Structures are given as structure tokens and as C-alpha cells.
Structure 1
Amino acid sequence: MNNIFLITKREFLTQVKKKSFIILTLLAPVMIIAFGAVIGLMFKANESHSIIEVVDKSGLFKNQLKSNDKLNYVFVSAADEKSKINNLKGNESLDGILILPELSGQNYDDLEKNSRLVINSKIGFDTKQRIISDITNVIKKEKIKQLGIAETQLDNLDKGFTLKTINVSENNKEDSDLSFGVKTGLSLVLMYVTFMFILIYGVRVMRSVLEEKNNRVVEIIISSVKPFELMMGKILGVTMVALTQFIIWITMSVIGALVLNTGFNSIQKNVPGGNEEMMSKLDIAQIATQVSHSLLELNFPLIIGVFIIYFLLGYIFYSSIYAAIGSAVDNETETQQFTLFAILPLTLGMYGSFSLMNNPDGPLGFWLSIIPFTSPVAMIARIPFGVPIWQLALSIVLLLGTTVFMIFLAGKIYRVGILMYGNKATLKELWKWVRG
């Protein structure tokens, strides 16, 4: 046991003292936020503002077809239709001409059949759909007017219904759409982080074992410690490194939520009325405040505790597999035939968990969070929505038992494989090592 502690300590200190670890730990949250901002800017940069000239022969659309920030309608005379179309090609300041024919006898089918959009170059699919939607809305209003329905009545018909949801299992707390969105976002982040870290640090354990085996350093090391102690020391050491990063990131996230909550509350109190720009900032501040409130209302001690337990057990479980793989082969090329057994269950758990967002307590969510191969990812995805205590306890017991069993199997393979050279491992060979 003392040897395992010493090896764990050595692996941990070796990793955390590296400059790359310190830089990555401190900058990773900033990099993730910056990456999201860049993606958002890329989508924003690809948006286009289209100018469409409209020839409205019926006069129906002139005062109802409204321009917006992405689409500008410019009405022109029907007498200029041919000249406008002839001069359209090569006109960089104009994207297209919308021809809307005369409306005879309220025959909207003929209007639709004879309407056409002449374009200068290719326009985006969303732009075309927006034009269609604008025309459809105008025609819809005209049809409603013909039925004798007033605009105020129409607005009343279109008025949505807001249903307040009270969750009795959470002390009669109101479960709003925003709260559900925050839970979904947190669920996706925790699930993806767990998935990526188990893979990244599991592969790191495998490569460390493989490197020591190829350098023959392991032959010197196991003269002082048992192979099992060496394997567990490596796994636990890297586990502590990952856990240290998580604790730092969780602390930064909670502090960030508290600071944003305080800051946006202050903005709401000090923003004067009557200024559109300032009111827009106020709307953003209100949304950000509601998001931070929803985050802080969650049972963070439970979520963090469950997250740490499942990450530790899941990581040790899969790292044992990776350590066994690293000891059984002689080079990274040979690892490909075995790493699939570790990647597939995790991937199944992650993609299966996407379906849990709409029904976290459904049968798929239950089984994915109970089966040990997928529970490290699936249970993390469910926990922000609330999980019955008995399911949580059963899942942890099964995962703990399976992890201990996997450590036992990996130790058997590691004990033989770490000193085997030039012998290409097969599943049949691995089974012999386990039985031996």
C-alpha cells in the first residue's frame, strides 16, 4: 500500500509541476469561452443583408411587407420591371427583384402561381424562406380581414399560453423553461467533459505504460515494487491530476456565476429608461441574471459530489482497461485493435444521453445510468434534472463493484504483459494471462 502511495505521489507531482498543466488549467475555461465566441462570430459573419426590389402590381404588399435587419424591401414601379430585370445582372448593390402580380377576385392561388423572384446571384436558403414567410403572413392577414376578424381579435387569437410548472419533488419550486434550458446546458457540459477526460487521461496512462515498457525502465521498477502496485500508482496519480483540474474549474465556475449574478443585478438597478441601447443591455442583463439564478438554485453540492464520484470510478474503470492494453502490446499501432473496447461503450453512453434531455426518467435513461459501462457518462447527464436516491445508490454500487473487478482483471494482464516483448497479444492470449 505504501508503494502505491509513493508511485501515486510521484505521478501526481510530475504532472502538476509541468508548465503546460498550469497554463492549461488556468486558461482552459477562457479558451472554451473564446472558442464559443469565435464560433458565434463565424455564424454572425456569414449572415448576409439582402436588398430585394419589389414590383407590387396588386398594391397589396406595399405597406405590409416590412424590411428588417437581414432583408430590405425596396418597392419600385411596375413600369420599370423590364429595365430593372435587364440591368440586374452584374448589379452588386441589388440581390434580386420580387415580382408580385395583380390579385384578381381574391384568387390567391393565381397570385402564388405567377409570383417569381429574379435573383442576381445565389441567395441563402434562409433568405428565400424569410421572403416566403413575409408574403405568407401578408396573405394570411388579408384572408382574416375578409372573414371579418379585427386585428385586435387576431392578436388575441395568436396570443400564446404560458403554463406554470410546480415541481413537488423540489419543494414546490417553479420549473421554468429557462430553468430547464440551464439544466440541459449543464448536463451537456458535464457529460462531454467527463467523456473527454476519461478518454484523454486514459490514453495518457496507456502511453505512459507503453513508454516505460519499451524503454525497459519497468524492469528496474518492478524489482522494487509489484506490477499491480505500479499499475494502481499510475492510475491513481493521473486521476488526482484530473481531479485537481476539475476542482479548480468548478471553483472558477461558481465564483464566475456569483460575480455575474452580482454584476448584472447592479446593471439592472442603474440602467435609466428611455434609451433603446441601454434597454437592450438591460434585456441581456436580465437574461444573464436569470441564468445565473437558475444555476445557483441547483443542488450544487449533490451535483459536484456525484460528478466527482462518477468521474473517479469511471476513470479508474476505463484507465484499468487502458493500462492493461498498454502492457499487452509493444507499440501504439497494436493498441488500435483493443482501444475500441474502451471507446465504444463510452460513445454509446454519450450519444444515448442526448435523448435523455426530453425524458431523463425514461427507460433508456434508467438503463444507461445503471449499466457500469455507460453510467459514468449517462448518470452525469441525468443528475442536474434530479435522480431518485435508490437509482443513484444502485448505480454507484454496480459501478464500484465492476471497477474493482476490472482492476483485478487488468492487474492479471498487466503482471504478465509488462514483461512480454515481441509477442503479439490476442484476445485468446489475454484470456490465458487472466486465467494464469
Structure 2
Amino acid sequence: MGKIGIIIQREYFSRVKKKSFIIMTVLGPVLMAAIMIVPLWIAMQDKTVQRIQVIDDSGLFQNLLQSDEYNQFDFTPINIFTAKENFYSTDYNVILYIPPSIIKGNYNVQLFYKKQPGVSTEMFIRSQLEERITDMKLFANKIDVELIKKTKTKINLSTNKIEEDGKSTQTSTAVNMFIGFVGAILIYIFIFLYGVQVMRGVIEEKTNRIVEVIISSVRPFQLMMGKIVGIALVGLTQFLLWTILTFTIYTVTYTVFLGKIDNNIEQIEKIKQSQLEKGPFNAPEEIKKMDSSEVIQIMRGLKQIDFVALFLCFVFYFIAGYLLYGALFAAIGSAVDNEADTQQFMLPVTVPLILSFVVAQSIMQNPEGSLSFWFSVIPFTSPVVMMVRLPLGVPVWQLATSMILLAAGFIATTWLAGKIYRTGILMYGKKITYSEIFKWLRFNS
């Protein structure tokens, strides 16, 4: 094993054996899975029925608010003060107070509760009131309310991508953007997390004067590369373990929760089609409203994504992006005596990554724009920006150009960082400035 290999082995095993690494590797996917699955599981359970006591001092809404399965309206002919005093002696969950001023256009109502009701309950109450007020205004202007309701149409916009060979594939822009942003955020976090580890490791060895002993056996460049690659393998190991656990959880979730529902979608669509063929205005209202749930549409969008290709691209941009920035973090660590002095050098390194997320917002509006293209091929921004674009579809030549330039950028930054590292690693007690670093870059020995 070469000298760099020994350094890589030391950096790798000294970190993967730490309890913090093991705990985060196990808890990370579990926590992420809990965030995704627990709300879904709760949503599938029986919801609490909200009994709503309505105090209508306006007299406009008497028995006009329509209850549903989870929200039950009950109009009571008492004043609001009595209702509030006796609230805890009743089985009502919520008091809805409609003041008389609503007649004059003051559309402010009050909601009183024992325990905080869900957002869905508040939205339901608000929508009921708004619909009734709209109906009253239409009636006052002698406009047929039922006719207006019939004119309202809900469009289900399905996005499909047509390939050059004529093959059409159903996609979901929202799902693709979400996947892209998740990948970009992970790369951003890993670059900073493990890049800072490289910088701190260099500072620690320099402060403890351990580096003086180490470089008596290896060259500074070998030490820098061994540290960067070793920590990169730590990050890659953690990411691979997270991927395996996440994929397992996703597979189980899809099979248990959505596999059965998926089998019923075709039956629902057949029922809708057979009824609508008789005439869209003759079909029962329940049939018209039947539609695949948003959850199913999201899962179908996920099924159309080539996760293997996306995963391979993620690994490349993760490794190449980390190596590029890791070399810069190592150079910063070698140029200072303590972590507090790194702040002046961190800004030029962090700005491109932060700018990447600013540009990523514009990708939502124009994924194929020139801004999206250039920032996805510039080495300092491509790891984040290209990951956002990939699920949306990127031409092969653009992807190849981005990868080649990123690899070239890594080689260039490593060469420059090596020159800084070689000089700065043995320099103590001097306040380093940018002009001093430029002198090191011109120094040849």
C-alpha cells in the first residue's frame, strides 16, 4: 500500500468507527422515513370528527352550512357569551361565531376551540362561509347560482414527454423538481459537512504540530490528497447506506400503502369513461368528481424517473463536487492557525454554492434557459444546478460537457490548493492575507 493509501485508510477508519457516524448513519434514514411516512399513516387513520357549534347573530347562514364526514355544524339559538361560558360542559370541539356586522360587509368571523383544530377544519369552515356569501351576492343580483356552479370546471393537466423516437412518457413536473432539489440539497450539505471536516482536520494537525512529523515521511500533496479522498470515502459510505435504507423503506411503503390503491385506478377510470360516454352532463355528479388521488399521481411520477441513471449522476457530482471544494477547504485550513481565521477565506468558497440555489429558483420557470445551461456547466455551480435539471431531462452533450468541465475544475483546484497547502502547512504565527496566498501560488519549488 502506498503512502497515500495509508493516509486514506487512517482518515477513513478513524471516522467510520466513531459513534457519531454510526448513529447518524442509522438515524438519518429513519428520521427522513418518519417525516415522509408518519403524516401519510396519520392521514389514512380515522380522523377526529369536529363538532362545531354555530352562533349566527347575522341570521344569514341558518342551516345553510353543509356538514361533511369530519365537520358537523350545529346551529344553536344562544348568545356567544353563554356559549363560551358553557363551552367545556358541552361536547362541542369548536364554536363558530358569525357577528351581525357581516351583513354590512365586515367579513370577520371568530373561531373558539378547546384544542387547536387542524388546518383542514379551518379551511373547510372558511370555504363554506365564502361559498354561502358568494351565493347570496349572486342571488341579490338575480344571477342563477346553479348555472354559475355548472360553469365551473376542474382541469386535470397531465404532462407527457415525447421522445425523438415518438415514445410518450407521462411525467410530473412537481415530482421532478422535488427530486432535483432533494439531490441538490444533499450535495450541498455533504460538500459543506465533509469539506469543513477536511479543513478542521488540517487545522488540528497543524495546531498540534503533528503535521511536522507526518511530512517527514510523506509529501504535503500526498497528505492533502489522502485526507481529502479518505473523508470522501466516509461521505460516500454514509450516502450509500442511506440510499439502501431509503430504497428499502420506499419499496415497503409503496407495496403496503399504494400497491392496492394502484390496482383500483384502472377500474375507476373505466367507470368514469363508461358514464361520461353517455354524455358529460348526464353522468352522475359522483362519477364526475372521481379522480386519481394526488398521492397516486405523485407515485406514478416517481415510477417514470430513471433512478439508476439519476443515482449514478448524483454519485459523480457528489464525488467530483466534494473533491473540488475539499481541496479548497484543505487549502484554507493550511493557511490559518485556528478556525476563527478561516472566515475571511470562506466567502469566496461559499458564494458559488449559495448562488447555485438562487439560480435553481429560475430553473423552475425556464429549465432550458441560458442561465440554467451555463450554471450547470460551470464547475463551481454545476454539482447543485445540474442535479436540479437532471430529473427534468438534460441533453447528453450538456451532461457530458458539465462532467468534463467539473473533472477539469477539480484537477485545476487541486493543483492550486496543493501549492497553497505545501507552503502554508508549516507556516505559524503569521496573519495570512490574499496577497500572501497569491505569492504562494507564484512560488515554485
Q: 2:342 aligns with which of 330, 335, 340?
A: 335
The Cα of 1:347 is off from its aligned counterpart by 1.4
The Cα of 1:385 is off from its aligned counterpart by 1.0
Report the count of equivalent residues.
405
In the alignment, what sits opposite 1:173? 168
Is the alpha carbon distance of 1:341 and 1:269 closer, same or farther for their aligned partners in structure 2, counting shifts above 3 Å?
A: closer
Look up the equivalent residue of 2:105 and give its one-letter code: K
Is the alpha carbon distance of 1:115 and 1:31 closer, same or farther for their aligned partners in structure 2, counting shifts above 3 Å?
A: closer
Structure 2 counterparts to residues 259-298 of structure 1, below 5 A: 259-264=252-257, 267-268=260-261, 290-298=297-305
Partners of 1:318 and 1:342 within 8 A in 2 = yes
TM-score by length of 1: 0.80
In the alignment, what sits opposite 2:31? 31
SS of match in other structure, 2:312: helix
**Are 2:421 and 1:414 equivalent residues in the alignment?**
yes
Structure 2 counterparts to residues 154-169 of structure 1, below 5 A: 154-169=148-163
In the alignment, what sits opposite 1:279? none
In the alignment, what sits opposite 1:354? 361
Q: 1:401 aligns with which of 408, 422, 425?
A: 408
Is the alpha carbon distance of 1:111 and 1:358 closer, same or farther for their aligned partners in structure 2, counting shifts above 3 Å?
A: same
Write the distance in 2 (CA, Å) between the matches of 1:134 and 1:4.
70
The Cα of 1:75 is off from its aligned counterpart by 2.5
Q: Which moved more, 1:366-375 or 1:136-145?
A: 136-145
The Cα of 1:433 is off from its aligned counterpart by 0.8
Unmatched runs of 5 consecutive residues or more in structure 2? 43-47, 89-93, 265-289
In the alignment, what sits opposite 1:53? 54
SS of match in other structure, 1:160: coil
Cα distance per residue 1:273-326 (max 9 Å; x no partner)? xxxxxxxxxx9x976565444323211222111111111111011111110011
The Cα of 1:413 is off from its aligned counterpart by 0.5
Partners of 2:55 and 2:95 within 8 A in 1 = no
Structure 2 counterparts to residues 170-319 of structure 1, below 5 A: 172-176=167-171, 179-264=172-257, 267-268=260-261, 290-319=297-326
TM-score by length of 2: 0.78
Cα distance per residue 1:374-396 (max 9 Å; x no partner)? 11111111111111112111211
Look up the equivalent residue of 2:347 and give its one-letter code: L
Is the alpha carbon distance of 1:51 and 1:385 closer, same or farther for their aligned partners in structure 2, counting shifts above 3 Å?
A: same
Look up the equivalent residue of 1:389 and give its one-letter code: V
Q: Which moved more, 1:245-254 or 1:321-330?
A: 245-254
Structure 2 counterparts to residues 113-124 of structure 1, below 5 A: 113=105, 117=109
In the alignment, what sits opposite 2:279? none
Partners of 1:329 and 1:424 within 8 A in 2 = yes
Partners of 2:51 and 2:74 within 8 A in 1 = no
Write the distance in 1 (CA, Å) between the matches of 2:107 and 2:423.
78
Partners of 2:160 and 2:169 within 8 A in 1 = yes
Look up the equivalent residue of 1:341 and give its one-letter code: P
Partners of 2:203 and 2:336 within 8 A in 1 = yes
The Cα of 1:12 is off from its aligned counterpart by 1.7
Q: Which moved more, 1:294-303 or 1:219-228?
A: 294-303
The Cα of 1:159 is off from its aligned counterpart by 2.1
Q: CA RMSD in A?
A: 3.7
Look up the equivalent residue of 1:9 and give its one-letter code: Q
Is the alpha carbon distance of 1:149 and 1:267 closer, same or farther for their aligned partners in structure 2, counting shifts above 3 Å?
A: same
